[in-house]
Amino acid sequence: MDKKIISRVQKECEYIITTKDTLRNVAKKFHVSKSTVHKDMNERLRLILPEYVETVREILDEHLEIRHIKGGESTKMKYQKI
C-alpha cells in the first residue's frame, strides 16, 4: 500500500477519534471523497491500525443511530426560516 494512503488513514483515524466527527466532515477536512473515507475506515484501517478499528466503528455506529434525528432537526430548522 502506498505511504500516502497509509499516512492519510492514520490521520483520518486520529481525527475521528479525537473529534468524533462524521465521515462527511472528515472528507471535507482531508479533501477526499466521502467514499474514500468510508473505504479507509472500513477496509484499510484493519490492515494499518487494527487496534483502532473497534473505537472508530463505535463512533461511526453512533452516527448511524442518530442520523434520523439530525435529519429531522435540519428539516425543522429549514422550514422555520421560511
Domain that holds residue 47: 3-81
Nearest alpha carbon to residue 25 among 12, 44, 14:
12
Domain total in the chain: 1
Cell of 71: 435529519
Would you say 80 and 73 are in contact if contact means Cβ atoms under 8 Å apart? no
**Total-model pTM:** 0.79
Instruction: Write out pLDDT tens, residues 13-64.
Output: 999 999 999 999 999 999 999 999 999 999 999 999 999 999 999 999 998 8
Cell of 1: 500500500
